Amino acid sequence: MGDRTNLPRSAGTAAERDNEINPPLRQPLSLILASASPRRLSLLKQIDVFPDAVDPADIDETANVQERPRDLAQRLAKEKAEAVARRHKNVFLLSADTVVAVGRRALGKAETEDDAYAYLKLLSGRRHHVYTGVTLITPAGEAVSRVASTAVIFKPLDISEIRAYISSGEWHGKAGGYAIQGRAAALIRQIQGSYSNVVGLPLFEVANMLKGKGYPLGAERG
Ligand SMILES: Cc1cn([C@H]2C[C@H](O)[C@@H](COP(=O)(O)OP(=O)(O)OP(=O)(O)O)O2)c(=O)[nH]c1=O
């Protein structure tokens, strides 16, 4: 009894006392961006999220038969995350996939001028949807996914406008053959939904996912 009453009131158990002298080391909260897209990296910077490393996935992005564009975006984001997670342990890991869809048809990334021409003719004067699937894996290995959707309406494009856009080269490697963050903005009459989602990462959803799973954002990061 005598020993105990001589201890400071806050001393608690032996383990707690040790921790006061040697607090447990806190794990650094590393974030891996599993994407080769420079747009995704700069979108994250816009909300003060700075990945510790970029490690892109290399997966087959072919749609399954009858797969809906929204489901495709979600599946590919998950597969990218799972592929890269095998190389990293105890980290946050973020991946995404952007799909441009006309009705049930998903347009891939334009790789040739012919692709870009065909896509822009299809998008001319009509409304289409852009879906970005996002997957976050936590240090404990839990995976969460979301899909954001934005409707985009192009003005009717004549052949000379399509040719001029193609000569800019901005379509290359972009889903649907255009980049809203560049010259295509002059051809887009309206969007309904998140702008960053069209560029490749829905920032509102991403911020909520990170916060929800305990990744410190902004001031919390210190
Ligand atoms: C519609 C649209 C797409 N894009 C881009 C975003 C994506 O980079 C790309 C869609 O391809 P994704 O397969 O989503 O991404 P990626 O191959 O560039 O990178 P990774 O798979 O490594 O994550 O299209 C724009 O930059 N602007 C746009 O307006």
Mean pLDDT of 161-169: 98
Q: Best mutation site among 174, 178, 195, 199 for ligand 1, i.e. most ligand atoms within 8 A of its Cβ?
A: 174
**% of the chain at pLDDT higher than 90:** 84
pLDDT at 4 over 60: no
What pLDDT sits at residue 218? Answer: 75
58 is catalytic: no
- In the structure encoding, which two tokens stand for residue 71, read together? 């489901």
In the predicted model, what is the mean pLDDT of residues 179-203? 98
Please write the tens of the pLDDT for every residue from 188-198: 999 999 999 99
Q: Give the mean model confidence (pLDDT) for residues 4-10.
A: 35
Please list the residues that pair with 54 across neighbouring strands.
33
Mean pLDDT of 3-9: 35
Whether ipTM > 0.90 holds is yes
Mean pLDDT in residue range 143-171:
98
How do residues 26-66 score in pLDDT, each as one tens digit? 456 899 999 999 999 999 999 999 999 999 999 999 999 99
Nearest CA, atom 8, ligand 1: 37
Res 26: pLDDT: 47
Rounded CA-CA distance 122/106 in Å is 12
Cα-to-centroid distance, 35 and ligand 1 (Å): 9
* Nearest-5° Cα angle at 206, 146 to 155: 80
- Confidence class of residue 20 from pLDDT cuts 50, 70 and 90? very low
- 22 has a pLDDT exceeding 70: no
Q: Is the minimum distance from the CB of 130 to ligand 1 under 6 angstroms?
A: yes
Tell me if 178 CB under 6 Å of ligand 1: yes
18, 48, 52, 97: which is the annotated catalytic residue? 97
User: What was the pLDDT predicted at 17?
Assistant: 43
Mean pLDDT of the chain: 90
So what's the pLDDT on residue 1?
A: 35
Best CA proximity match to 178, nearest among 133, 137, 118: 118
Predicted local distance difference test score (pLDDT) of residue 28: 61
Strands (E), the chain: 31-33, 53-54, 92-102, 105-107, 127-137, 143-154, 188-192
Please, what are the domains in the chain?
A: 28-221 (3.90.950.10)
Beta bridge partners of 131: 99, 149
